[in-house]
Amino acid sequence: MSPMPDRLDFSHDAGLRSWVASANAPDCDFPIQNLPVGVFRRAGSREGFRPGVAIGDQVVDLLAMRDAGLLPPEVAASLIGCERGELNAFMAQGRAARVALRHALSRSLLEGSAHQARLQPWLLVQAGAEYAVPCRIGDYTDFYTGIHHATAVGKLFRPDEPLLPNYKWVPIGYHGRSSSIGVSGQCFARPRGQTKGPNEAVPLLRPSHRLDYELELGVFVGQGNAPGEPIPIADAEGHAFGLVLLNDWSARDVQGWEYQPLGPFLAKSFATTLSPWIVTMEALAPFRAPFSRPPGDPQPLPYLDSEGNRAAGQIDVALEVLIQTQAMRDAGALPQRLSQSSYLGAYWTVAQMITHHTVNGCNLQPGDLLGTGTQSGPQPAQAGSLLELTAGGKNPLRLANGESRTFLQDGDAITLRGHCERSGFRRIGFGDCQGQVLAARV
C-alpha cells in the first residue's frame, strides 16, 4: 500500500512537533499532522459557533487568529462567510484553500514558531468547548459500500442470494434526512413507528424494540457541480472535503415493515450522529491504499474506473465501536468495545460514490454529506451493527458486567472511534462520535 506522493508535503512530516504539548503524545488523535476543522463555542455560553481547528487537546479559534493578523491574506480571505459558524463558504473553495490553511496552521503551531506568544490566547481546551454540525447540510445520501455488512445482513433474509445482482455493479444509495443529523453528544428519544410482528394480524404504532447503530464514515462535499454536469471519476476526489465518523441509527423493526418497495424512511430519519471534526482529504493522504476487485468479481464500468482510483482510491481507517450501558455508568465502568473493523473493506471508493451520484446530472453542493454505509469486517466479531453481532437478535451478546444485548436499550450510549496509522507517518484520529438512546416519548 502506498500513499499518494503528489499529495504529500512538509506538513505530513512525522518529525514535526507542536508547541501545544498535548499534540505530541503518540496516541493523540490531533497531532500537528492532522489539523481537522469544525465549529465550536465555549461550553454553556450563548456565543455564536465559530470555525476552529483541533490541535492536541486544544481548539484554535480561526476567526480570532485571522483578526489578529496571524494568517496570510489569501487564507484570511478564504474564511469570509464562515462567521455564522458554518464552513460552507470555505468548503466551496476547494483543495487549494484547504492546503493554504493547513500550511499556515502547520507553521504557526510548529515548535519554535514566532506566532506562539500571540496565538496562545486564542486557544480553548476542548473539554471546555461544545460543538455543532460543522456546516449547513443541504442533502444527505447514505450509500451501502460495506460488502461484508451487505453480505451478512443479506444472509439473514436471503440465505441463497445474500447480495442482489446489482450490488457489484452500482454503488447503492438512498436519500436520507439532513434535519435530524446531530454532532457527537447527541441524545435522542427512542423512535416510534409502525411495526408488525410475524404473529400479528395488523401493524401497531409503538416504540421500536429493535434499535441499532451503524458504524459508518461520512464524506463531506467541498466544491459542488452544476446541474446536468456529471463529475468524472478522475476529478471526483477534488470535490471531497474530508471525512467524519457517522452513526446511522436504525430502527430495524420499523425498517422491516416499511422499506418495501421504496426503501428506508422513518426507520432512519430520527437521528444520525457525526464526530465534530472533519479530517481533511489532505490529512488522509499518507493513508491511501490501492483499490482492486477480488478475483472473479466484475470490474467497475468505465465511468467508475480510473488509474488514480486503482492506485490509491482506498483509505486505511481503523474503526471500533464501544457501548456504555446505564448500569455501567452507574457503576463507574468504562465503555466496552463491541467490535473493530476497517474502511479498507469498502467495495466502492469515495471517488466512485461522488461520480455515480452525479452521473445522471445531479448537482452536489458544498456541505452535502455522503454516508459510506456500515463498515464491517469479514469475520462475525468485526460486525458494525448489532443486527450482525446477534444474528438478527437470535444470539444475545453478553457484556462483561453480565448484561446482555440483542438490540439497544434505553440509556445505552454508543461511541465510534477511528484512526489512521502507517509506518513512517504520525498516527491521526477522528475523535469520538458518541450518542445516547433515551426513553421513547409517550
Q: What is the DSSP letter of 384?
A: S
The verdict on whether 149 is a catalytic residue reads yes
Q: Which amino acid is at 285?
A: A
Can you tell me which residue has the cell 462475525?
380
C-alpha cell at 299: 470490474
Note the Cα 220 to chain centre separation in Å: 9
From start to end of 168-324, where are the E strands? 173-175, 181-183, 186-189, 192-195, 204-207, 211-212, 215-221, 240-247, 250-251, 272-274, 279-280, 288-289, 314-315, 318-324
Q: Which of 66, 111, 421, 91 minimizes the C-alpha distance to 281? A: 91
**C-alpha distances in angstroms, 428 versus 30, 278, 287, 347?**
6, 12, 10, 24
Rounded-to-integer distance, Cα 95 and Cα 250, Å? 34
- Beta partners for 220? 242, 369
Element (H, E) at 23: none
Contacts of residue 180, defined as CB under 8 A and 6 or more positions apart, other chains included, come to: 269, 270, 271, 272
H helices within 321-409, ranges in order? Answer: 326-330, 350-358, 386-389
- Is residue 210 a contact partner of residue 407, using CB atoms and an 8 Å limit? yes
Query: DSSP labels for 390-401?
Result: TTTTTSPEEPTT
Q: Which of 12, 115, 148, 149 is the catalytic position?
A: 149
Q: Which amino acid is at 355?
A: T
Rounded-to-integer distance, Cα 387 and Cα 343, Å? 19
Residues recognised as catalytic? 149
